[in-house]
């Protein structure tokens, strides 16, 4: 799994856990819908740390909380 795919899955899981839509998450986190669409629906290879920080801040979690998932405990391949 690539890091981009792992981040995409984590975002989807967080929306499910919090029972919110991706659109609602964007509103809460102060990021644009197009940013999330690029991560979820397209093969955007680079997800900025700032985007992850905004997701964490909006969902009242730390960066450690975000990456503390079994998704990231598997081997991560480079996005090349």
CA distance 62 to 31: 17
Task: Report the pLDDT value the prediction gives residue 79, as an integer from 0 to 100.
Answer: 57
The one-digit pLDDT tens for each residue of the chain (80 residues) are 888 889 999 999 999 999 999 999 999 999 999 999 888 887 667 889 999 999 999 999 999 999 999 998 877 776 55
pLDDT at 1: 81
Whole-model pTM? Answer: 0.86
Q: Which helix (H) or strand (E) holds 7?
A: helix 3-18
CATH superfamily assigned to domain 3-73: lambda repressor-like DNA-binding domains (1.10.260.40)
The domain ranges of the chain are 3-73
């Amino acid at each position: 799994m690539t890091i981009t795919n792992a981040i995409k899955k984590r975002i989807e899981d967080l929306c499910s856990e919090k029972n919110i839509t991706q659109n609602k998450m964007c509103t809460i986190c102060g990021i644009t819908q197009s940013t999330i669409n690029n991560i979820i629906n397209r093969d955007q290879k680079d997800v900025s740390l700032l985007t992850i920080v905004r997701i964490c801040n909006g969902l009242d979690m730390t960066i450690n909380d975000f990456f503390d998932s079994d998704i990231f405990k598997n081997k991560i391949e480079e996005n090349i």
